[in-house]
Chains A and B, each alone.
Chain A
Amino acid sequence: EAGVAQSPRYKIIEKRQSVAFWCNPISGHATLYWYQQILGQGPKLLIQFQNNGVVDDSQLPKDRFSAERLKGVDSTLKIQPAKLEDSAVYLCASSLVRAAEAFFGQGTRLTVV
């Protein structure tokens, strides 16, 4: 079975610029998650979608981060404007239903300079 696909794999931007990440979950998976993993830390959940609705975005810095999952399939995560502390790996994960195992993508490594 194809895994969770993310693009780009790497991105370098200057602070105050905007950036967007894309995620294509495993086919049929209703639940989608975005995580932020800063170097030396474990992943931290940013937002959880159930189909195209947001279930939990309590840890999403909404002043600069936004995410959407149109049509309940692909999702994009945007940062505008980026700060140096946003440098991290952004992981997307999906699960068949909320109570099922989550499968992770390879991640997008963002460097803000």
Chain B
Amino acid sequence: AQRVTQPEKLLSVFKGAPVELKCNYSYSGSPELFWYVQYSRQRLQLLLRHISRESIKGFTADLNKGETSFHLKKPFAQEEDSAMYYCALSSGGSQGNLIFGKGTKLSVKP
């Protein structure tokens, strides 16, 4: 079965500390993986996708097929990074047909 697991409901770090939000997936095939972010009172928006291999707002994520993981990392957290983060898996060739994890709430303290 296709599934996305985010083991942490809440992650709290201090400003300037490194951040790693964990994501593991189960998928039979070549997955397309994404990280979505929802800031307070804002809509859900795409942060990054694994095929782009880009860094957005200092965040990076590497697809590890051996460990079936797609962890999100940032070396130095900022207060404005506080938000809800969702890892998602695309199936069927449609980037909007997504299977989401339950999300991790990141809280960056001053």
Contacts and interface: CB of A to CB of B under 8 A. Distances in A.
Interface of A: 3-4, 31, 33, 40-45, 48, 55-56, 91, 93-95, 98-107
Contact of B43 (A44, A55, A94, A106): A106
Interface in B65-110: 86, 88, 92-103
Given A41-B102, A42-B88, A42-B102, A105 B95 contact: no
Interface bin, chain B: 20 to 34
Contacts of A4: 43
Contacts of B86: 42-43
A100 B95 contact: yes
Nearest to B94: A98
Contacts, number: 62
Contact of B95 (A3, A41, A44, A101): A101
B57 to A, nearest CB: 16
Nearest to B6: A42
A54 B100 CA distance: 21
A95 B97 CA distance: 10
A48 B97 contact: yes
A48 B94 contact: yes
A104 B44 contact: yes
Contacts of A56: 92, 97
A41 B101 CA distance: 7
A63 to B, nearest CB: 23
A102 B100 contact: no
Contacts of A105: 43
